[in-house]
Structure 1
Amino acid sequence: MSSTTHVLITGTNRGIGKGLLSTYLARPNHILIAGVRDPSSASSKALSALPHGENSKVIVVKIDSLSQTDALTAVQTLKSEYKITKLDIVIANAGIANQWGPARTTPAKAMIEHFEVNVVGPLLLFQATAELLDAAPEPKFFTISSVVGSVSYQDKLPLESSAYGTSKAALNFVTARIHFENPKIVAAPVHPGWLQTEMGNDSAKGVGMEEAPVSVEEGVAGIIDKLDKATKEKSSGTFLSFDGEPVGW
């Protein structure tokens, strides 16, 4: 009998998170833990009805990235109620991008909010799941980042994104530290592409485009391909991209 793969993903109600959840759920012998802000919402309840492979299912848990206790409480619930003893894959996907503009006019409040959700949230998620990751034979912790957080890419970006970009650069640093400090865990940030999500299309319209250039399906397929092939020796501690193109820090 095949062993069960346990995958925890945050921000699964829509966009990238839902796409990742759906793809893994379609595989056999996968337990998907869907982290959502509000498990009682219609979109959260609908996750359990997504098509699933043989012996696969969804467990919905509350993980709000602004909460300092949600991730830890969720893990305690997984252990006590669902008897989960390991996590093979954790994907910190939940994030925000709701303020655009030059550094000169970026409000301090926007910087703080982006940092709390996009950096502190994933860090707390890792801290809460580290023990269960250590219990897996080949654990992987991936963060959904963005080329917008690449310092070496700033001269090529059409977006003025001090709050969002700074938070993703910091997320990359945290993910790199997780790689260096945990010899067993494969850890890397992943650029998912400029996707046709609500967030991606809003930013595209801000620079005069009708929509973002990459479909959610293409981005999700690329992310999972990189994650499936990821190893400690070749992938961990590098800045990955959905399309395989190298991304500078």
Structure 2
Amino acid sequence: MSAQPTVYVVTGGGRGIGLAFVQALAARPNTVVYAGVRSFPPAADSELGKLAASKPDVCIPIKITSGDEEDNAAAAATIKAKYGKGVSVVIANAGIQTGMNPIQHAKMDDFIDNFKINTLSPVLLLQKLSPLLLPGGKFIAISSQLGQITDAAPYPFSCYGASKAALNYVMKKADMESPGVTIFPIHPGGVKTQMTLDGLKEVGMKPEDVGAIEPEESVAGMLDVIDKATKESHGGKFWDYKGEQMTF
């Protein structure tokens, strides 16, 4: 009998950091990775579609729309039917970045949209999937340096930054309330994804201004942190992809 695979769930798995996570995890032995996507099924000619076709027992696309309670519940039921309470790691990666304005000019709709996707959607995902985590399982939220309060960055990402600061709080609180599960936010670095490039362009900045790195480098670093993490050493703290603890 083959050993039970290590099961991962990654949201926003169709592009950017999420896709890089899925690709890296799918290359590991005896691993299953559920790639959460909003547009389901992924296009056959997309990177995710091609990976799923080549490794159908390893890379499994699943419909998870951020903030949609029915989608999240259905995904949890699908995973539970196959693996029960056998999930090792959930990575809440899906996010948005809109409303690049100073506080005085930020639109309330942009605040609401950022909080819904970047803060509340990971909370919903945690509520639906944490019951499926193995003892010692991990729930990781992709956060951002822009959510720091003590070392607030001087960029006009007010709506996005506030939503990530709130995400850091709820992940720290969730770790306190979740014995046996390791929960923490992690900063992926400035990463060359379309979302980041669009955001930088909107405020007149370039990738080199923030030392942007490729998704593969970011994910390799984050997976090293996640693999080594324990509740005692990492739970409820804020980390970056290099394994350095950050201030909230």
Number of residue pairs matched by the alignment: 241
Deviation string, structure 1 residues 143-196 (Cα, Å, up to 9, x no partner): 000010000121xx2421111001001111111111100110010000000101
Counterpart pick for 1:162 among 158, 161, 175: 158
Instruction: Map 1:1-249; keep pairs closer than 5 Å.
Output: 1-42=2-43, 43=46, 45-49=49-53, 57-80=58-81, 82-133=82-133, 136-154=134-152, 157-205=153-201, 206-210=203-207, 213-249=212-248
Q: Cα distance, 1:56 vs. partner?
A: 5.5
Q: Cα distance, 1:84 vs. partner?
A: 3.8
Is the contact made by 2:130 and 2:139 (CA closer than 8 Å) also made in structure 1? Answer: no
Q: Cα distance, 1:210 vs. partner?
A: 4.7
Which deviates more from structure 2 when the two are superposed, residues 39-48 or residues 173-182?
A: 39-48
- Amino acid corresponding to residue 10 of structure 2 in structure 1: I
Is the contact made by 1:29 and 1:56 (CA closer than 8 Å) also made in structure 2? Answer: no
Q: Give distance in 2, aligned partners of 1:221 and 1:85.
A: 27
Deviation string, structure 1 residues 219-242 (Cα, Å, up to 9, x no partner): 111110100000011011110100
Q: Give distance in 2, aligned partners of 1:69 and 1:124.
A: 10
- Amino acid corresponding to residue 21 of structure 1 in structure 2: V
User: What TM-score do the two structures reach when normalised by structure 2?
Assistant: 0.91
Q: Cα distance, 1:118 vs. partner?
A: 0.7
Percent of aligned positions that are identical:
37
Is the contact made by 1:85 and 1:132 (CA closer than 8 Å) also made in structure 2? Answer: yes
Q: Closer, same or farther in 2 for the Cα pair 1:29/1:196, shift >3 Å?
A: same
Is the contact made by 1:106 and 1:163 (CA closer than 8 Å) also made in structure 2? Answer: yes
- Amino acid corresponding to residue 234 of structure 1 in structure 2: S
For structure 1, the 5+ residue unaligned runs are none
